[in-house]
Amino acid sequence: MHRAFSAGFPARQKGATLVIALLILVLIMMIGITAVSTSNTQFKLAGNLQFEDSALNNAETAVTAAEAWLATGTNYASAGFTAYDRPTSPQLLPIGYLAGLASPDNSPLTMTWRDSTDDVNTANSISVNDPIGGARNTSQRYYIELMSTGNRLQGSSQVVGGRTSSGCNQVNTYLITGRGASARGAVKFVQSYYSVLSC
In sequence order, what are the residues at sequence separation of 6 or more whose Cβ sits closer than 8 angstroms to the Cβ of residue 197?
168, 170, 171
The pLDDT value recorded for residue 50 is 86
The pLDDT value recorded for residue 27 is 92
In sequence order, what are the residues at sequence separation of 6 or more whose Cβ sits closer than 8 angstroms to the Cβ of residue 44?
none
What backbone phi and psi angles, to 5 degrees, belong to 117? Answer: -75, -25
Count the neighbouring beta carbons within 10 Å of the beta carbon of residue 173. Answer: 16
**pTM score, whole prediction:** 0.73
pLDDT in tens, 11-35: 566 667 888 888 999 999 999 898 8
CA 43 → CA 47, 61, 169, 184, 185, distances in Å? 6, 27, 53, 15, 18
Residue ranges per structural domain of the chain: 28-197
H or E segment at 80? Answer: none
